[in-house]
Amino acid sequence: MEKVYDTVVLGGGPAGLAAAIEAKKNGAEDVLILERDRELGGILNQCIHNGFGLHTFNEQLTGPEYAERFIDQAKELDIPYELDTMVLDLEDEGDLKRIHAVNEENGYQTFDTKSVVLTMGCRERPAGAIGIPGFRPAGVFTAGTAQRFINMEGYMCGKKAVILGSGDIGLIMARRMTLEGAEVEAVCELMPYSNGLQRNIVQCLDDYDIPLKLSHTITFIHGKDRVEGVTIQEVGPDLKPIPGTEERIDCDVVLLSVGLLPENEISRNAGVEIDARTNGPVVSELRETSIPGVFAAGNVVHVHDLVDFVSEEAALAGKGAGKYIQGTLDQEPDFKTVAGPGLGYVVPQNVSLDNVDDSITFYMRVRNVLEDKVINAYIGDEKVATKRAQKFLPAEMVNFKISKKTLEKYPDGEEIRFVIEDKPVPKKKA
Amino acid sequence: MAEVRNLICISCPMGCNLTVTRDGDNITVTGNTCKNGEIYGIEEVTNPKRVIPTTVVCNGGKLKRLPVKTADAVPKSMIFDIMKEINKVSVDAPVEVGQVIIPNVLDTGVDVVATRTMPAE
C-alpha cells in the first residue's frame, strides 16, 4: 500500500514552514513539504533587506535570516521536504487527498495525504496585465524579478530606472538599484497615496532623494529592442491620464510593482471556494477551506504586508491540520464575517469558537486612507468591539483582535459585521 | 529658537509619526509609541544612521551572491563609501550565518556580516 501522509504542505516559503512546524507540534506525525524552488525559504531568500521579524523575534532580521530560523526549526523536527518539485494538481477524494507532482529526479509522482495546507503564496501582476502602450523591449521587469536577479543571481538589470507602482517591493528595489550604482529617476504611483509602508518611503526614497510621483502613471514605453525611456503622465481623480501633462524620462529599465495576486490555480482546480474580494480561499479561524482537511495560509489567502503575520496565520493553519488529524477540529461555523463599506475584505470568513483559545485576530484592509475613524465590530445591532488607530492606510493590514469571551456572549449571533465609523469625539471636561 | 521636525519612525513597520523638537542640547520626541521611537527621533536629528543590507560575490556556493548587512546601523553619510568597500569583497563558500565578512568597516566599529548560511555547491 502507498504511504499516506498526515499533512502535505504545498510550498516551502514562510507560510509553508510555519504551517508544517505547527502541524507537527499539534499531532500530525507524517508531514511533508513540497517546494518548487531549489531551496526552502521562498521569497524571503531574495528579500535581503532588514525589517523582518519584529513581531515574531523582537529584532530586525533580513529575509534570509528570518527564513533560516524557520528552516532550522523544521529540520529540528525532522520534517522532510522535496525541492525542485512542482505540484500540478490536488484531488479531493474525501478522507484522502491525492497530490500530483513532478520533479527532475523522480518524474511524475503522487502523494496521498489526509490533510493539505495550501501555502503557494502569490505572484506579481505582470506587464501584460496592465497594458502599457509601446513596444515590448527588453528591460521591463517586475520588481521581484529584478530583485531575484540582483540579490541571488548576481545580474544588474539596468543603469537608469523608472519604477511604476509604490508597493513595498518597488520601494525596496528603488534603494537596492541606487546602492548598486543605478540612478532611479522616479517612482510613479497611480493612486494619490503610496501602497507601501511609510518607513519604506522614508528609508528607500527620501534617503536617496528619489522622487515619488503620486497620481502619475507610465503611458508609453519607448524603445524597440531595449527600453529607451518612458512617457509619464499625471492622472485625474478618475485615474485617467490628463492630456498635456506628458513628460519624457530617459531610462534603460522599467520596474513594475503593481500588485500581487494570490496563486490559486491548484486551489481552484481542487474545488476550493474562492473569495472574490481576496482572490484567496474562504477560510475558517484555523484556516480550513471549503474542503474539509484542506487548509490555507499566507499570501495565497490574502496578500500580507508583513511576513510576521504570514507566520502567525500559517501557524493557525498548521494547528488546524493537526487538530483535523486528531479528530478534534470543530468544523461547524458559529459566525460568518462581513466586511462593511470601505473595507476591502475580512479574513477569516468563518469562525467556530470551539477552535479558538483566548482570542481571534481578524485581518482586514481599508480601501482608502482614513483619519478620525474607527472600525467597529457588530453582532446583530450590538457593538462588541472597536479597533482604533492613528490612521488607517490601504497599504497596512489591520489586525483586529476580539476575545473569545466577548464572542461567546452571542450564542445566537450569526454574523460579525465590521463597519467603519466616525471616531467618537472625546467629552470635554467640565 | 526651537527647531521642530516631523519624522516617520522607521524602527518598525508601525511607522509612527514623530515630532522632534530641538532646543539647543535639549531634544524631545513625541508621537512615538515605544522607546525605539525616541532613540530613532534623537539620532535622526543628530546623527542619522541606517543598516545597509546588500550582497557580496560568493565563489563556489549554492548561489552566486551572499547576502550581508552591517551588523548595526552606520552613519547615513557613509553609506556609499561603505558600499564601495563591500563591493571589493568576494568570499568562498561555505559561509555560516552571522560570519564576519568585513570587520570594523571603515573604522565605524561595525562589522559586515553574512545574513544566511551558504553551503558549498
Contact call for B64 and A154, based on CB within 8 A: yes
Residue B60 forms contact with A (CB below 8 Å): no
Query: Is the Cβ pair A153, B65 closer than 8 Å?
Result: yes
Residue that wins the pLDDT comparison between A59 and A15: A15
Q: How many CB atoms lie within 10 A of CB A302?
A: 27
Residue whose C-alpha cell reads 467640565 in the numeric block = A430
pLDDT band at B101 (very low <50, low <70, confident <90, very high): very high
Interface contact B112, partner A, CB < 8 A? no
Name the band, by pLDDT with cuts 50, 70 and 90, for residue A250.
very high
User: Helices H, strands E: what count in chain A?
Assistant: 9, 31
CATH class of the structural domain A126-258:
alpha beta
User: Which band of pLDDT confidence, cut at 50, 70 and 90, is reported for residue B1?
Assistant: low
User: Residue A407: its pLDDT value, please?
Assistant: 96
Given a cut of 90, whether residue A342 has pLDDT beyond it is: yes
Nearest chain B alpha carbon to A46: B67
Question: Averaged over B73-94, what is the pLDDT?
Answer: 96
Is the pLDDT at A248 greater than 70? The verdict is yes
How many A×B Cβ pairs under 8 Å? 80
Q: Which pLDDT tens digit goes with each residue over A3-58?
A: 999 999 999 999 999 999 999 999 999 999 999 999 999 999 999 999 899 888 88
Residue A281: pLDDT band with limits 50, 70, 90:
very high
Q: How far B54 CA sits from the closest chain A CA (Å)?
A: 7
Note whether B55 contacts A305, CB cutoff 8 Å: no
Which positions in chain A touch B10 (Cβ < 8 Å)? 199, 202-203
- Residue A428's pLDDT band, with cuts at 50, 70 and 90, is low
Helix (H) or strand (E) holding A317: helix A307-326
User: Higher confidence at residue B33 or residue A427?
Assistant: B33
* pLDDT, position A197: 84
pLDDT, one tens digit per residue, over A183-240 is: 999 999 999 988 888 889 999 999 999 999 999 999 999 999 999 999 999 999 999 9
How far apart are alpha carbons A8 and A29 in whole angstroms?
11
Shortest distance between the Cα of A73 and any Cα of chain B, in A, equals: 15
Instruction: Give the separation between CA A106 and CA A217, rounded to whole angstroms.
Output: 47
- Interface predicted TM-score (ipTM) of this complex, two decimals: 0.91
C-alpha distance from A154 to closest chain B C-alpha (Å): 6
| Cβ neighbours of B37 in A, within 8 Å | none
Which chain B residue's Cα is nearest to A198?
B15
pLDDT in tens, A122-165: 999 998 888 889 888 999 999 999 999 999 999 999 999 999 99
Cross-chain CB nearest to B115 (options A38, A65, A202): A65
Looking at domain A1-122+260-331, its CATH class is alpha beta
A207 to chain B: which residues are within 8 Å by CB?
50, 76
Q: Is B97 on the interface with A (CB under 8 A)?
A: yes
Mutation site for A-interface testing, chosen from B6, B116, B121 by largest number of A Cβ within 10 Å: B116
The pLDDT of residue A59 is above 90: no
pLDDT of residue A424: 87
Residue contact B15–A51, C-beta within 8 A = no
pTM: 0.94
CB A203 within 8 A of CB A175: yes
The answer to whether residue B55 neighbours chain A at the CB level (below 8 Å) is yes
Q: Do A199 and B116 touch (CB under 8 A)?
A: no
Q: Is the peptide bond before B94 cis (omega within 30 degrees of 0)?
A: yes
Residue found by looking up cell 534570509 in the block: A64
The answer to which of A212-216, B35-39, B78-82 has the lowest mean pLDDT is: B35-39
Q: Tell whether B15 is within 8 A of chain A (Cβ).
A: yes
CATH code of domain B53-114: 3.10.530.10
**Cβ contact, residue pair B15, A197, below 8 Å:** yes
H/E stretch holding B42:
helix B35-46
Domain ranges of chain B: 3-46, 53-114
Average pLDDT over residues A267-289: 97
For residue B12, name the pLDDT band (cuts at 50, 70, 90).
Answer: confident
C-alpha cell at A250: 530617459
pLDDT at A430 over 60: no
pLDDT band at A1 (very low <50, low <70, confident <90, very high): low
Option in B8, B12, B67 nearest A64 (CB): B67
Which is nearest to A374 in space by CA: A365, A390, A387, A361?
A387
